[in-house]
Amino acid sequence: MNSSRSFLFHYSPLLSMIPDTSQSATTSYVGNEVTRNFRNFGQPVYVNVYHLHWPNGLKMGAYHTGTVVYDREFGFGGHPFSSSGIFQTTPMDIDSLGEEISFKERLYMGRTYLSKKAVERLLTSLADEFRGDSYHLLHFNCNHFTAQFVDLLCHGCFA
């Protein structure tokens, strides 16, 4: 399995696919045949991976991930309140993520065919599950959010 996709959990919700109308497929006419090129249809989905540089003696790597779609990066973080812990930033905006963090890599995950509005509705539907007070460093963190969000965005259709 490709390492960029190996962290994904298998989650198959019943989610209707809402086409992205911001881009259209191109049509080619060859003789009497009509072919459609869907290669650029939809929006690319990326996962940005960041290395956390926490001063500890564990000598372990710790990583933060965020999902990039429609030129926005979405992540999940903890706080003591029962409101959503999902946040959005400009992609690769290190300053908004904290001092002890550096960009490691960007992974292409596939394309989403959800409209921008449908992505916003999807995030709203995830808000109750990913509350700030439910965050746990090992058992329910940004990587769990990224895995579930990417799976819902790409709907198992990796390009």
Which residue among the candidates 51, 53, 64, 136 is catalytic per the annotation? 64
Which residue among the candidates 10, 51, 142, 157 is catalytic per the annotation? 142
Query: In angstroms, how far apart are the furthest CA atoms of the chain?
Result: 69
DSSP letter at 19 equals: -
Tokens 């991976």, residue located: 49
Task: Judge whether 142 counts as a catalytic residue.
Answer: yes
- For 119-156, letters b (16+ CB in 10 Å) and e give beebbeebeeebbbeebeeeebbbbbbbbbbbbbbbbe
The C-alpha atoms of residue 47 and residue 68 are separated, in whole angstroms, by 6
Angle between the 142-154 and 116-126 helix axes, to the nearest 10 degrees?
Answer: 140
Residue 116: Cβ within 10 Å count: 15
Token pair of 101 as six digits: 């963090």
Task: Judge whether 157 counts as a catalytic residue.
Answer: no
Residues annotated as catalytic (active site), given as ranges: 64, 142
